[in-house]
Every structure is written in C-alpha cells, then in structure tokens.
C-alpha cells in the first residue's frame, strides 16, 4: 500500500466531517462521511472487500444502498456483488485473457492503493482515490495490473438532498478491450437488498421517455437520466442518475429490485485514459411521488451537467 491508506485521518469543516477508519458495519475499512453528525455516505474498501464502492444513507443515517455482505463477511441478499455506487466490466480483455471486474469471482480485485486527498469544506466532502484493477492472472511484470483508476468523489447536500458526483479516470496499463453486456458493466447503483422484497412497488422513469422498457434494456444514443423510486425504512426514496453526454453510453440497464446504470464498450491502448462521470441525486418522500414532477426536476438536473 502507498499513499495515506491505513493512517488515522479526519477532516472537518462546518457541518461536514470525513474520517478514514475501521468499518463498524462491514469487513475492512470505511471513509465515513457525515453531515451534522449523521452518516451520509461511506466509501468501503480493505480486507474482506473484493471491490471498492460507495454506500449512501438517508437523513437519519439509514442505509439506502446494498452492502453485499453482513458484518461477519457472509453474503447478504440476492446478487451480493452489486454494492452501492460501483463501476466495472465483466469482460476486460487483455494479453492476460478475459477478466471479470464485475463479479470478481476468480481472484480479480479492485484495491484502494492510496487516498491522495480527503477534504471537508462548508459545502461537502471531496475524496481523491487511487484504485488498482487487478487481473486474476498475476504472473507478469505488472503483477496483473489492468487499470489504474483515479476516482474523485464529491458528496454534498444542496437543497436538502444528497448529491454524489463521481469521476473515474481509467488509465490502461496494457492494451484493453472493455466488453460485456449492459446488465454486467458500466456505472451502476444498487439499492439495499431489502428492496428486493418490495420490487413489485418500485418505479422507473428515464429520458428519452418515449423509449419502450424492453425487458430492462433501453437503447439510445441520447440517454440523459434514469430515476428509480422505492419504499424502504417506512419511507419513499428517489434516486436519479445523470448520464453526461461525454460518457458516450448507448444502453441503460434497470431491474425492479433496484440495480440500474449506463453501459458502454471501449478499446484502450496502453497509457490511454478514459474519463467517465456521473451524478446521483437522492430525495426522501412521503409518497411514491408524481411522474411529471420527477421528470421536470430530472430534466433541470441534467441541464446542470451538460
């Protein structure tokens, strides 16, 4: 390990606090992000975690996203490899073969190598992280390194709702082909496993809104956003994921149990960097909400990132 990983780190500004520490809920460590003392988000990594990801919480500190594991490290719920806000491809092809950096079943790993910046301001928290994507085949000079990702996460609460911005700069350490399918690749969010029990009540909207559902698959060159609403903890929640045009995503994946995201393929030469950006907005509601209101707000949100 290099950088600042594993050191006691705390930053505070105004109502915001961020701390890198042992995880009190899951195996490994967490970069804990709090507003006015209440947990808003937590970046999960370390021993016992095959991938790195961000969990998100509501205004009372109740988890909205899927951790995939119980505190003892056993699997939790269906599809436990879907964890919070995460990124991956189930087919990354290189001179080492084809690696699955989605399920991570064959000793593939995403490892946090360094926390290069961890800062709190009056407006929120910023994390800058160096993450290594590692092949199951490590018998080479690079020890199986496929991608060096520089991930920036910004967590804030404008207008009383949680906003998460993620930018991933994917640096190819060798010639790569990012492949797979829309259900197993891209930038995705997975709601808590408890949503699986109420999947008949969940609701989706997307833009362009004239596209047919297609069994959980939406195809378009102009995918702007997707909105997911779900009941949990006795409340209703809305999550909107925005898809900036520079991502060049052409497919949207959604499932009624609360896993959704945007997909693209790419070819990268060694040394090339691919930038991927997304914004998630979380709202708390007393009802399932009005479709027209959701569309109007999501449209305005999308205009802010174009």
Q: Is the pLDDT of residue 8 over 70?
A: no
The Cα 201–Cα 91 span in angstroms is 33
Instruction: Give the pLDDT of residue 210.
Output: 87
Partners of 34 in the β-ladder: 17, 39
Q: Is the pLDDT of residue 225 over 60?
A: yes
Domain-embedded: residue 3: no
Which of 145, 149, 146, 172 lies closest to 272 in space, CA to CA?
Answer: 172
Domain-embedded: residue 2: no
The Cα 168–Cα 130 span in angstroms is 10
Using one digit for the tens of pLDDT, what is the confidence trace for 248-300?
A: 999 999 999 999 999 999 999 999 999 999 999 999 999 999 999 999 999 99
Give Cβ neighbours of residue 239 (< 8 Å, ≥ 6 apart).
64, 189, 191, 227, 228, 229, 230, 280, 281, 282, 283
Partners of 131 in the β-ladder: 112, 149
Domain-embedded: residue 52: yes
Domain-embedded: residue 228: yes
Instruction: Give the pLDDT of residue 134.
Output: 98
Residue of higher predicted confidence among 212 and 172: 172
Q: Is the pLDDT of residue 33 over 70?
A: yes
**Token pair for 188:** 């995705």
Domain-embedded: residue 217: yes
Instruction: Give the pLDDT of residue 214.
Output: 78
The Cα 249–Cα 72 span in angstroms is 37
Strand ranges inside 109-202, DSSP E: 109-120, 124-134, 145-156, 162-172, 176-179, 185-190
Task: Indicate the DSSP class of residue 28.
Answer: S
Domain-embedded: residue 4: no
Least confident among 3-7, 13-17, 102-106, 210-214: 3-7
Q: Is the pLDDT of residue 5 over 70?
A: no
Domain-embedded: residue 106: yes
Task: Indicate the DSSP class of residue 191.
Answer: B
CATH of the domain at 24: 2.70.98
* Alpha-carbon distances of 245 from 87, 118, 294, 302, 306, rounded to whole Å: 18, 28, 21, 10, 7
The Cα 116–Cα 245 span in angstroms is 28
* Alpha-carbon distances of 166 from 6, 7, 128, 129, 227, rounded to whole Å: 22, 24, 10, 11, 17
Give Cβ neighbours of residue 306 (< 8 Å, ≥ 6 apart).
244, 245
Q: What's the distance, Cα to Cα, between the start and end of the chain in Å? A: 37
**How many structural domains does the chain have?**
1
Using one digit for the tens of pLDDT, what is the confidence trace for 59-107?
A: 999 999 999 999 999 999 999 999 999 999 999 999 999 999 999 999 9
Average pLDDT value over all residues in the chain: 94
The Cα 1–Cα 279 span in angstroms is 29
Instruction: Give the pLDDT of residue 3.
Output: 53
Q: Is the pLDDT of residue 25 over 50?
A: yes
Range of the domain at 27: 9-305
Instruction: Give the pLDDT of residue 255.
Output: 95
Domain-embedded: residue 246: yes
Give the mean model confidence (pLDDT) for residues 165-174.
98
Helix, strand and coil content of the chain, in percent to the nearest 5, comes to: 10, 50, 40
How many whole angstroms from its chain centre is CA 69? 16
Give the mean model confidence (pLDDT) for residues 42-48.
96
Three-class DSSP category at 195: helix
């Amino acid at each position: 390990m290099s950088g600042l990983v594993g050191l006691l780190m705390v930053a505070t500004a105004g109502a915001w606090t961020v701390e890198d520490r042992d995880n009190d809920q899951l195996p490994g460590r967490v970069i804990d992000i709090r507003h006015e003392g209440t947990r808003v988000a937590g970046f999960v990594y370390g021993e016992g975690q095959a991938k790195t990801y961000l969990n998100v919480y509501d205004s009372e500190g109740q988890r909205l996203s899927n951790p995939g594991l119980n505190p003892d490290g056993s699997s939790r719920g269906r599809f436990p490899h879907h964890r919070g806000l995460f990124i991956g491809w189930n087919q990354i092809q290189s001179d080492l073969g084809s690696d699955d950096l989605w399920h991570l079943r064959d000793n593939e790993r995403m490892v946090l190598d360094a926390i290069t910046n961890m800062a709190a301001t009056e407006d929120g928290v910023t994390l800058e992280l160096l993450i290594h994507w590692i092949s199951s085949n490590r018998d080479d000079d690079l020890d199986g390194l496929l991608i060096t990702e520089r991930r920036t996460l910004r967590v804030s609460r404008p207008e009383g709702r949680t906003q998460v911005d993620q930018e991933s700069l994917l640096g190819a350490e060798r010639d790569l082909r990012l492949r797979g399918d829309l259900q197993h690749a891209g930038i995705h969010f997975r709601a808590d496993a408890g949503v699986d029990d109420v999947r008949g009540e969940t609701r989706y909207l997307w833009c362009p809104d004239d596209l047919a559902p297609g069994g959980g698959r939406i195809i378009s060159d102009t995918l702007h956003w997707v909105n997911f609403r779900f009941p949990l903890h006795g409340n209703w929640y809305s999550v909107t994921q925005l898809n900036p045009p520079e991502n060049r995503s052409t497919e949207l994946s959604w499932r009624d149990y609360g896993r959704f995201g945007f997909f693209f393929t790419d070819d990268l030469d060694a040394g090339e960097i691919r930038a991927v950006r997304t914004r998630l907005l979380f709202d708390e509601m007393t009802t399932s909400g009005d479709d027209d209101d959701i569309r109007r707000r999501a449209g305005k949100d999308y205009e802010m990132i174009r």
